[in-house]
Amino acid sequence: MSREGAEHALRTRAEERDRISGDLLDLESHTTYQLLKGASLRGTTGRRWAAAQESLVVLWSLHDAYRAVLRDAEQVRAARARLGAEQLARLTELLSGASVVLRAAAKPVEQRSLRPQADERLTLDATVTRMDAAFGEVTSALNDIDAVWNAVLPRLDEADADLRRVRELERELGEPADLGAPETELKRLRAAVVEDPLGPPAGHDLDRVARLLSDRRAEVELAIVVKGEYARRRENLVAALDLVRAAESEARLAHGAVVVKISLPPRAQPRSRVDGLSAALDALDASADPWVTRAKRVSALEEEVRKAADQARTTAKALYGLVSRRDELRGRLGACQVMAVRKGLAEDPAAGELYERARTLLWSAPCDLTRAATAVEDYQRAISGGNR
């Protein structure tokens, strides 16, 4: 190695040493590393971190030996202002040769041999390569553990916050429930994630507990609202039941008016639901159920009352629509008759028979709409030459 080459190599190695030392200091100050140093780990994580710690021991041993070689090289260079042949040879040996000595590790007695254990000698490049491999094993374990903790621990914190919020709401409602099961499950999940983040995934169980707490929170919030508004909502239900009565009365009137004009099946007779809904409201008044249960019943009853009113109105509209349908068929039949006259088919016996059949059905009471519609189509087809 020339004098200039030795000077350059020493400067390069010094910069490399400072960079490596900085990376190792960053590793030791890493938050997850600090947490793991004092953690009680188990399972997959315990084994993975134990292997990482073994790599870390090797890494520090290599680092110390590496720094010792560079320290010797710097001392050789500082001994004289201008390198002599002897100093240059020594520097070349330190910087290019197998100058890093890795002492043989002490082994447990059951793994020892009576033969002497040889130390390992490495070049600086080989030492850096091996340090980098060990560093990668440690950081890989840190990254994998950190990824799980960053993903799951905030969700556990959110679930714990939800648990506390549900308890606050239940105190406000005055009806505490047993939340021991989700609380126990959250503690178990937290212990599992903290002690063995690389073990079986906790996401599915955490989702289940989070849904349970979310549902419970929604139930209690609804119960608080309904409890505070019950008097007003009951009055609204009474008024809504009056609307159902009116709508059902209109449906019965529509049925009475239509059934004499249009042939209706028995199932077309409107059925009243108002009595059953009124009984459900009376049962709510007399109920001693918790407000969480009563709130659901109130909301369900409100929905049923709304549906009953809508159904009665729809029934009345549909019944009156049957009369409109009959009138529309009468209009079509008249238009077809005009077309028959224009085409010279007014005296056609076959067409005339079809017309009379349709007319008889449409002006009969009650009218069979299905048969009447078919008869009108048959007449229209006949006067159109087989095409509608």
Mean pLDDT by 10 residues, the chain (388 residues): 83 93 93 89 95 93 94 86 80 89 72 72 94 96 95 95 93 86 94 94 93 92 94 96 97 96 93 96 93 94 97 96 96 94 87 94 95 95 72
Residue 366 backbone dihedrals phi, psi, to 5 degrees: -80, 150
Q: According to the model, what pLDDT value does residue 253 have?
A: 96
pLDDT at residue 111 in the model: 66
| Short-list 193, 370, 208, 175, CA closest to 289 | 175
Q: Give me the torsion for CA of 16, 18, 21, 23, rounded to 10°.
A: -70
d(CA 241, CA 224): 24
Helix or strand (DSSP H, E) at 251: helix 203-259
- Tell me, what's the pLDDT at 321? 96
* Helices 203-259, 291-342: crossing angle, 10 deg rounding: 50
Instruction: Identify which of 166, 204, 168, 171 has the alpha carbon closest to the alpha carbon of residue 185.
Output: 204
pTM score over 0.75: no
